[in-house]
Chain A
Amino acid sequence: MEINNTNKEFYHALTIDKDVCVGCANCMSVCPTEAIRIRNGKAELYNNKCIDCGACYKVCPVKAIYIKQDDFKNIQNYKYRIALVPAILIGQFSHNIRTSQIYAAIKELGFTHVYEVENAAATIVEAYKKYMKKHKLQKPFISPFCPAVVRLIQVRFPSLVKNIIHFGVPLDFAANSIRKRLSNAGIKNEDIGMFYITPCAAKIASVKSPVEDVISPINGVINMDLIYNKIQSLITKSMPPVQSLNHALRGKDVLFSLTAGEKSRFEGRSFAIDGMKNIIEFLEQLENQEKTNVDFLELRACNQSCAGGVLTVANRFLAMERLNDRCKAIDKMNEERGMPKQGEKLDIDEQTYKKLIIPEIKPRPILKVGDNIKNSLRRLQEMENIINTLPGVHCCMCGAPNCSAFAEDIVRGNAKITDCIFYNDKPENIKKKLCEIWGKNKFFKTNNDEN
């Protein structure tokens, strides 16, 4: 078996439970990086190819793919327990449950502080602008917001890595600034436990294994569906009283993680693209052009951005409606308080800015088939010969998503040509190989004793 050219294995939040997997191959057919194969009747993951987008998690009919999270009890290891909450969590609940009641429920679950990560949105926008001024030649700028997109570019579009705004995940920034605020108030760093409530797998992976070796300020990650259930149970038993919240959010901040949440804050020519397929299509074209007059690209892996995160519970359009209403309500409230609606000019200081910067994002190309060009060329030729002998109907019976992925597996030594059921063979051998790939009981249920 050959492991692809990666220096280091990446942490993946997605895990396949082989005991539960029924080998239906749904996951294999939706994976945007062709990272899944079926072997011995079970789905298997090529770790170097997976970008943690969570597409497989969504389509698994038996919940064999799960997203590893930290034990909820871990929050008790800290004296101060901070829940870092993305605004999209509020969008999971119906209109009649107020934000302050959700906050109160989170505290009842054991957290001492609740902090909405979108509080950092204005600062991050300013930092983007500063970065853009400093690196004018690297247009178009690609937002570092969505970790699945950053990973996609690393593996499939290495030439565009330099266009990514070289910031750590904005989430880290939000966490760092609240950590600082708490330690200024005299709280010891080791007493602070920060837990992010995540709407997706990619954010977990980016906390556990950042793009580059930056130590994350976040101590743990809790899946949004889990916390949703806990909050909903609490609220069903007894509804906490409504309180007035004292935060510095502006209306548009709560829309930051929705599609166009970033784009809308920049001037110039920019695009907000959501959905993995749409992103790939756009980047393929972008890569072919020498010069573009595009300034900024907001790219989010999920449809409707974080509202479509794989760990969200509510219908994404209902969640968006809720957040849009909240945006209006916050603007109205701020107006009454005399807070300016606009006014992004925070003028970020150099020290804060430097903390956001990461020196390098390394490409991790997965497409190359050999160690060097000579070797790759030979393998590519082999692949072409193999593909010519295959039926080309992409039946997936070999356990690969299509004939060319299968051919690639063969030249890498991860599959053999005889795995193709159409490869000239005796009928009894076809049966044998189908059992090997898909398990004994999939195709020959009535007479499985024979096998």
Chain B
Amino acid sequence: MEYTKKIIGGNFSEAGEASSAIKKVLKQLGVDSQVIRRTVVAIYEAEVNVVAHAYEGLLSVLIEDDKIKIVIEDEGHGIEDIEKAMEAGYSTASEKVREMGFGAGMGLPNIKANTDKMTINSVVGKGTVIELINYF
């Protein structure tokens, strides 16, 4: 089963739509509720990352019998130092974004904590691709 959603940079009001849609599907599948919660948190954080840092992005979800695979691809600044970005509290978010209650530097660490597998590839000046897998 597949799901895709286009994410527009700066559109904070719509962040959370994809995670809610996926949550409904996972509930209908009867996936364990803790796995659902982890997945929803990870997708939400990933959505917010694109909204806060990129021009636009695409979220694609593939659900199989035993796992959910999420790919978030964006066109944006890219991440200069991935290792640093993975540290809790590290943030490059603008003052404006922080004022809105985002950009606490917990995005990537939270995604990692809530997924079984995470790979991240980024090209500075072009964009970032994050692949996430959670097993049921």
In this complex, the interface size class of chain B, counting residues with CB under 8 Å from chain A, is 20 to 34
Is B34's CB under 8 angstroms from A369's CB? no
CA distance A5 to B114 in the complex (A): 28
* A to B CB contacts below 8 Å, 12 in the list: A159-B34, A287-B23, A287-B40, A288-B20, A290-B37, A367-B28, A368-B28, A369-B29, A377-B65, A380-B25, A381-B1, A384-B1
CA distance A363 to B36 in the complex (A): 14
Contact with B along A357-389 (1 / 0, CB 8 A): 000000101011110111011001100100000
Is A288's CB under 8 angstroms from B23's CB? yes
Contact with A along B15-38 (1 / 0, CB 8 A): 010011001110111110110110
Is B66's CB under 8 angstroms from A373's CB? yes
B31 CB contact (under 8 Å) in A284, A373, A381 = A373
Is B27's CB under 8 angstroms from A367's CB? yes
CA distance A159 to B37 in the complex (A): 8
CA distance A369 to B44 in the complex (A): 25
Instruction: Answer whether residue B110 sits at the interface, using C-beta atoms and an 8 A cutoff.
Output: yes
CA distance A374 to B114 in the complex (A): 23
CA distance A287 to B33 in the complex (A): 10
CA distance A373 to B31 in the complex (A): 7
Q: Which of A130-184 contact B (CB under 8 A)?
A: 158-159
A335 to chain B, nearest CB (A): 45
B44 CB contact (under 8 Å) in A288, A373, A380 = A288
Is B1's CB under 8 angstroms from A377's CB? yes
Instruction: Answer whether residue A238 sits at the interface, using C-beta atoms and an 8 A cutoff.
Output: no
Is A377's CB under 8 angstroms from B41's CB? no
Instruction: Answer whether residue B63 sits at the interface, using C-beta atoms and an 8 A cutoff.
Output: yes
Which residues of chain B have C-beta atoms less than 8 A from A377's C-beta? 1, 29, 63-65
Which residues of chain B have C-beta atoms less than 8 A from A96's C-beta? none
CA distance A384 to B25 in the complex (A): 11
Which residues of chain B have C-beta atoms less than 8 A from A159's C-beta? 33-34, 36-37
Which residues of chain A have C-beta atoms less than 8 A from B44's C-beta? 288
Contact with A along B97-129 (1 / 0, CB 8 A): 000000000000010001000000000000000
Instruction: Answer whether residue A236 sits at the interface, using C-beta atoms and an 8 A cutoff.
Output: no
